[in-house]
Amino acid sequence: MGESLPGVRIHDLRHSYASTLASSGYSLPMVGALLGHTQAATTARYAYPFDEPLREAAERVEEVVTMNGDKGGEVIDLHSGRKYRIRHMNHYRETQKAIEKVFEKQIFFVVGMMKSGTTWVQFLLDAHPEICCKGEGHFTDILFLMLAKTFKHYNSQSSGRNRLFEKSGLKGNCPIYTGEHQRYMLATAMGLVFVQWAGDSDVKCIGEKTPEHGRALDILDAVIPTAKYIHIIRDGRDAAVSAWSFNIHSNREKQLKMFPNFNIFVEDFAKQWN
């Protein structure tokens, strides 16, 4: 470029132009289009990021590693991840032992139709120093159904992948969960709840009250064969009056919108007894 810039060629300006664009955040396809290149590899030979953008990128990585920009943080030791995993596994084993411990106690369930008095029985039992009785876990009418739906969807996906493998001449090894697995998951989830409720207490019995369990005693029996049951039965007329009064006091507008009068409500309420 003359005597004022010895060793500098006109073509060098294309390199500077490309590097400036790349350092400003423009993609290689964009830079290549501006340079008239048809091959990305050609553009890559032209575009060299400047030091400042590289330094900013390195500092950004430092921010992520050191607790999202906390300048007082320290770079995480790679071994700390392994230590965390070990602590996590130890916690898992301790939790499993705690679940096994609560299942060594007598587990029982308080069941009955809505407004049959199960809540009163729960509170009475929970007041005993050797009994822990809480509610409402809804293990059978909510959790079990959700697990079943999840397992069904998962198994469907696994079966589909297995068929694709088999069409390719390979053996499909995608796992399929069984009903036994589902019951095991439910038992584990229930055990976690019992651990939360009873903890390290010296209670001899752990109870759970969910009226709706009365319709799914077979599920509870399959999951916890040693469980006992307290089935509360109340005069249906009293239960209907109690339910109507409770709903009116809880949300009068909603109750009257669904059931304009007590007689209509009773007809619907009585269907639960079948």
The 10s digit of each residue's pLDDT in 129-158 is 999 999 899 999 999 999 999 999 999 999
Average pLDDT over the chain reads 82
Q: Which two tokens stand for residue 188?
A: 């584990």
- Specify the range with the lowest mean pLDDT, choosing from 38-42, 69-73, 100-104, 119-123: 69-73
The whole-number average pLDDT for the span 187-208 is: 93
Q: Report the predicted TM-score, pTM, of the whole model to 2 decimal places.
A: 0.63
Distances (CA, A) of 240 to 111, 170, 180, 253, 262: 17, 61, 38, 18, 9
Q: How far is residue 80 from each of residues 2, 75, 84, measured CA to CA in Å?
A: 59, 11, 6
Distance between CA 43 and CA 38 in Å, rounded? 9
Q: Percent of the chain beyond pLDDT 90?
A: 40
Q: State the residue for tokens 């976690």.
A: 192
pLDDT score of 113: 84
Residues 6+ apart with CB under 8 A from 269: 114, 239, 240, 243, 244
Q: Give the per-residue pLDDT at 4.
A: 59
- pLDDT grade, residue 168 (50/70/90)? confident
Between 88 and 263, residue with greater pLDDT:
263
